Amino acid sequence: MYIINKTNDLFKKIQLFKKKQKIIGLVPTMGNLHEGHIKLILLAKKYVDIVIVSIFINPMQFENISDFKKYPQTFLNDCSILKNIKIDVIFAPKISEIYPNGTKMHTYIEEPKLSNIIEGKSRPGHFIGVTTIISKLFNLIQPNFAFFGEKDYQQLLIIKTFVQELNYQIKIISLPTIRLKNGLAFSSRNRYLNEVELQKAPFLYKVIKKTADIIIKNNGDKLDKTIDLAKKYLIKKGFIIDIFNVYNSKKLSFFSKENKKNIILASVWLGNTRLVDNKKFILLN
């Protein structure tokens, strides 16, 4: 396993892989690896010859500097995990390597249709930071495949969109959300939760699942009432709701009975921790 910090060294390694006609896969992360990351990496190993995992806490996607500063840094433990599952390369650059002149005046990539709605509306500039760092990683690593989880569903659609529109010859592979037995989605932010909050957190997905079941049963009727009841239940449990609604799963437009493929997107606060989750469902009639 190689650990690379410099873009020039990465370029040389990539050229060597390309010369040997190796198929390259990228798994972008911000470190603090958990079971969801591991499943994603194991999936990547089935598709490619060379798995590259990036570890970079990207300041451009944080709208709050304090949130950026407190993001968990577990590099040595991450390296141990990645060595055990036998990945090929860790790319772990410093901020100055990626943004030598800082982030404020840095050229950026913006997908305009999906980046400023739903979570993008609540977190202005967040998705610009995401698409900019992902495009930089794509340019540096030139992967044949890139792998993303479906927990951050809006982010996934944005990445798929800009890959298509900017003509990247990269196949995006997604993996359904990996969960604990109690239903809580694995997330690097779960470590912010205290013991009481960890007991409450699984209720989010339970409510999402129940809401989807009711919408299917009602064939989309009484939607506003169903969503309102779900929100009231979450509030009663101690959640502060930012987003909880139903959208078309392809375009993220608001729910319509004509659209059979839908998704519930939720973004809530539990204490000082933001939790994001979702569930896709299909209207049968």
Are residues 114 and 215 part of one domain?
Answer: no
**Is there a binding annotation on residue 128?**
no
Asked if 44 contacts 72 with a C-beta cutoff of 8 angstroms, the reply is no
pLDDT by residue (tens digit) across 5-60? 999 999 999 999 999 999 999 999 999 999 999 999 999 999 999 999 999 999 99
Q: Which domain holds residue 238?
A: 188-282
Domain end, chosen from 126, 141, 175, is at 175
Domain end, chosen from 115, 146, 175, is at 175
What does residue 183 show for φ and ψ, rounded to 5 degrees? 100, -15
**Is there a binding annotation on residue 66?**
no
Is residue 62 in a domain? yes
What is the tally of structural domains in the chain?
A: 2
Separation of alpha carbons 252 and 127, rounded Å: 15
**Is there a binding annotation on residue 249?**
no
Q: Which of 37, 136, 231, 279 is catalytic?
A: 37
pTM: predicted TM-score of the whole model, two decimal places: 0.95
Res 192 pLDDT > 80: yes
Is residue 180 in a domain? no
**Is there a binding annotation on residue 199?**
no
Handedness of CA 95, 120, 281, 240 (dihedral sign): positive
pLDDT by residue (tens digit) across 81-127? 999 999 999 999 999 999 999 999 999 999 999 999 999 999 999 99
Separation of alpha carbons 53 and 118, rounded Å: 29
C-alpha dihedral (11, 93, 87, 80), degrees to nearest 10: 150
**Given pLDDT bands bounded at 50, 70 and 90, which one contains residue 221?**
very high
Are residues 142 and 102 part of one domain?
Answer: yes
Separation of alpha carbons 199 and 269, rounded Å: 14
Residue 106: active-site member: no
